[in-house]
Amino acid sequence: MFSRIQLYALVAFAFVAGMLGIYISGVQNGIDRTKRKIDEKRLSSMKTAKEVEDEVEILDDPHLAARASEWVREDKRG
């Protein structure tokens, strides 16, 4: 009788340990996925910054001023 209780306890423990392992694995996968998304966004931002920096270096000063004037509001104070 006691060995049957031990067997049930062992099976229950194995089940709980398995479920805990699956849960922890899922949490770790979620963390990895989030880190990967952050890294991809960071890399994309770095590429965009590099492209802008390269484009600014290519432009001469008068052309740069003309392009910048498109994005800057004129001062309408009197």
For the chain, what is the mean pLDDT? Answer: 86
The residue with greater pLDDT, 65 or 77, is: 65
Is residue 76, in this structure, part of any structural domain at all?
no
User: What's the domain count of the chain?
Assistant: 1
pTM as predicted: 0.54
**Tell me: the pLDDT tens digits for 30-44?**
999 999 999 999 999
Taking CA 2 as the corner, what is the angle to CA 19 and CA 18, rounded to the nearest 5 degrees? Answer: 10
Which residue range is the domain that position 25 belongs to? 2-71
Is residue 26, in this structure, part of any structural domain at all?
yes
C-beta of residue 59 within 8 angstroms of C-beta of residue 67: yes
